[in-house]
Amino acid sequence: MKTTLDQPGNSLLPRSQETLSPGTQLMRMKVHHAIHRLVEWLERNDYRGYDTFDGLSARFLRPLTFNRPFLRIGLQQGVRRFPINLRPMLGIAPSRSTKGMGFLARGFLRLYHGTGDTAWWNKAKSALEWLQEHKSPYYSNACWGNHFDYQARGNFFLPRGMPTVVWTSLIGHAFLDAYASSGHKEFLAVAASACEHLLHDVKTTPDGASACVSYTPIHNSQVHNANTLAASLLARTYSYTGNQDYRLLAEKAVTYTACHQRHDSSWYYGEASYYHWIDNFHTAYVLDSFKHYIDSTGDDRFEQNMMNGYIYWKDAFFLPDGCPKYYNDKTRPIDIQCCSQAIDTLVFFHDRDPESISLAHKVAYWTIEHMQDMSGYFYYRRYSLNVVNKTPTLHWGQATMLCALAGLYRLT
């Protein structure tokens, strides 16, 4: 369905600026201008963009992979890592994405709360309606996947439309945000349906008293951010429905990741040897998920795990000027997903860390100055001062940055 999302009549005028300091007002104006430019770009492009992992949609080269995993990985990663955008030459068209529309819906809801302008609510509602119409066809409960095939290491192949726990959980949060904003039970029903999918369709691996929710329904893959994101949606939906099955699986999943926290309070991406790296935005996903679980259930046994991990993350992943590093031991490539998720997590932790908003402002300032194009969209990656991949990705950049900047704007 083609969705028309009209520009709000009074743009981003805040409800009140009377209590803001001059410095905060200037930063809010900078964020306001960045959001305005980004929304204009999104409108001009009908909410379509590329995806970092859409290389297998290259209709001119895909047949040459002969359906061999290592050749599919080569094509996918070649398109992803090449410093210029090869997609137009390879026959890959800009598209909407489910995860992108989920982040956009959350961003629009935050702008609605920050401005009081109902046009933002209408934008969010339109995005959620689109998501309702683009659920995965593989399962009866609400779930979402990629709009392209995906190949990873370990013979991990995910066909187009097959749902992932990451997509489903993050989109489920968008519906919970809408329910929290409106009280309309149809939004809560979608989130509950997504939880039923996590309970009954997705593989869960027991590990003593804990359990790990797999990345997809068709793979037995233990990844910490997917596991804890599932827990976050289950716990938050439990807080509205009282469904004890949701809470029980959420508790087991959080326990699994807490038990695998490393001695320095970090987490690997996953426990398999080929998952042994530590990066910025996946760590932030885990931290957000712990906080959702604790805040939603009142179970504070994991508060120290969370705060130790948060302190590690703040110390390991940011340069003095606010530039977010990709890995704990390596700065580049500077990735827009690290920028957006850093802002979002810092804003989310403002009630635990009085310094978080100051760092969020630094990250936002650095990102707007170094990663936003004059046309309004945000670049995908910066490899050096002069080498920049300017691909306009949708969820991995535009949608996540709108969501993050909207959250910062609303809070300040």
The Cα 158–Cα 171 span in angstroms is: 19
pLDDT at residue 155, as a whole number = 80
What token pair was written down for 393?
């990705």
pLDDT tens-place string over residues 332-389: 999 999 999 999 999 999 999 999 999 999 999 999 999 999 999 999 999 998 999 9
The Cα 412–Cα 52 span in angstroms is: 31
The Cα 207–Cα 364 span in angstroms is: 39
Which residue type occupies 88?
P
* R_g (Cα) of the chain, nearest Å: 20
DSSP state of 7: P
Q: Residue-wise over 112-149: b if at least 16 C-beta within 10 A, else e?
A: bbbbebebbbbbbbbbbebbeebbbeebebbbbbbbbb
Q: Which residues, 6 or more positions from 89, have their beta carbon under 8 angstroms from its beta carbon?
A: none
Q: End-to-end CA distance of the chain, in Å?
A: 35
pLDDT at residue 145, as a whole number = 97
pLDDT tens-place string over residues 66-86: 989 999 999 999 999 999 999
The Cα 126–Cα 120 span in angstroms is: 10
Give yes or no for residue 125 having a pLDDT over 50.
Answer: yes
Q: Please tell me the pTM assigned to this model.
A: 0.93
pLDDT at residue 316, as a whole number = 98
Edge-to-edge strand list for the sheet holding 381-382:
334-335, 381-382, 388-389
Q: Provide the H-helix boundaries in 116-223.
A: 118-133, 165-182, 185-200
pLDDT at residue 9, as a whole number = 47
The Cα 205–Cα 223 span in angstroms is: 11
Q: Which residues, 6 or more positions from 19, have their beta carbon under 8 angstroms from its beta carbon?
A: none
- What pLDDT band is residue 22 in, cutting at 50, 70 and 90? low
Measure the CA angle with vertex 93, ends 90 and 94; round to 5°.
Answer: 135
Q: Which residues, 6 or more positions from 390, have their beta carbon under 8 angstroms from its beta carbon?
A: 84, 85, 373, 379, 380
Where are the strands (E) in 260-366, listed by range? 334-335
- What pLDDT band is residue 259 in, cutting at 50, 70 and 90? very high
Q: Is 127 helix (H, G, I), strand (E, B) or coil?
A: helix
pLDDT at residue 4, as a whole number = 35
Q: Is 136 helix (H, G, I), strand (E, B) or coil?
A: coil
The Cα 41–Cα 186 span in angstroms is: 31
The Cα 361–Cα 231 span in angstroms is: 29
The Cα 349–Cα 310 span in angstroms is: 9
pLDDT tens-place string over residues 152-196: 887 889 999 999 999 999 999 999 999 999 999 999 999 999 999
pLDDT tens-place string over residues 26-46: 898 999 999 999 999 999 999
Give yes or no for residue 25 having a pLDDT over 90.
Answer: no
What number of other Cβ atoms are within 10 A of residue 370's Cβ?
A: 17
Residue 49, φ and ψ in degrees, nearest 5: -165, -175
Of 259, 233, 255, 257, residue with least CA distance to 246:
233
pLDDT at residue 24, as a whole number = 79
